[in-house]
Amino acid sequence: MRRLLLAPSLIFSVALTAASIAAAPTLVGKDAPDFVLKAMDGSNLRMSEFRGQVVLVNFWARWAGDSRQEMPALDRINTTYQRAGLVVLGVSVDEDLERAREFAGAMKVSYPIMFDTGANVGRDYLLQKMPMTILVDRAGVVRYSNVGFKRGDERAYLDHIRELLRE
């Protein structure tokens, strides 16, 4: 009896979550908010300085399991398309800077990792769930947004990246 009651409530909650994610506001079609953050190497990077290039911004957190899968995939994309004009930026939203640094160091990715400890950038980019990846075109407009990560998403990233690089 309990199982019978649990099943519909589970389905309902999953549907509700999916609907809330689908209905959540996104920045697609709008100008990417500018930000400046400190990177792992101590330099400061400003989003608007990459105008003219296709930018992939990946918001991640060490406690988000999907980030562990997504970061190596993004690293491969960065290695392949960097020369074609793609910039990959990783933005950590972890509050604990030291642990985020350790995690980023262990992942050994080739693209710059920055730290949004104040969560200001995440707020500007309407973060809903971790990880979140957005693609910004050469004119600085958000063209694609993906919440979460599952296997196969990197193929969708590649399709969009190729399209944006051709523009």
Partner 1 sequence: MNFKHRVVSIIARAALLAYAGAALAAPQAPAAAAASAAAAAAPAPAPAAVPAIAPPADAPGAPPGDFKTLDQEVQGLKKDVIDLNKDLFVLQEELLFPANTQVALYVSMDVGAFFALNSVTIKIDNKVVTNYLYTAREADALLKGGVQQVYLGNLKVGKHELVAFFTGKGPIERDYKRGATISFEKGVGAKYLELKITDHVAKHQPEFSIKDWE
DSSP run (H or E) holding 109? none
Is 8 one of the binding residues for partner 1 (CB under 8 A)? no
DSSP run (H or E) holding 111? none
* Rounded CA separation 51/147 (Å): 23
Is 9 one of the binding residues for partner 1 (CB under 8 A)? no
What mask of x and - would describe binding to partner 1 in positions 67 to 106, judged by CB under 8 A? ----------------------------------------
Is 40 one of the binding residues for partner 1 (CB under 8 A)? no
Is 41 one of the binding residues for partner 1 (CB under 8 A)? no
C-beta contacts of 44-49 below 8 A and 24+ residues apart:
45/89, 45/112, 45/114, 47/89, 47/136, 48/140
* Rounded CA separation 147/134 (Å): 9
* Member of 28, 36, 97, 106 binding partner 1 (CB under 8 A): 36
What mask of x and - would describe binding to partner 1 in positions 45 to 64, judged by CB under 8 A? xx--x---------------
Determine the Cα angle at 73 with ends 89 and 57, to 5°: 20
Which range binds partner 1 by CB under 8 A, 44-52, 91-99, 122-130, 149-157? 44-52
Q: Measured over all CA atoms, what is the biggest interatomic distance in the chain, rounded to whole angstroms?
A: 61
Is 29 one of the binding residues for partner 1 (CB under 8 A)? no
Picking from 71, 61, 123, the residue whose alpha carbon sits closest to that of residue 94 is 61
Is 139 one of the binding residues for partner 1 (CB under 8 A)? no
Is 113 one of the binding residues for partner 1 (CB under 8 A)? no
* Member of 43, 83, 98, 108 binding partner 1 (CB under 8 A): 43
Contact 112, 74 (CB under 8 A): no
DSSP run (H or E) holding 47? none
Is 159 one of the binding residues for partner 1 (CB under 8 A)? no
Give the interface with partner 1 as residue ranges (CB under 8 A).
36-38, 42-46, 49
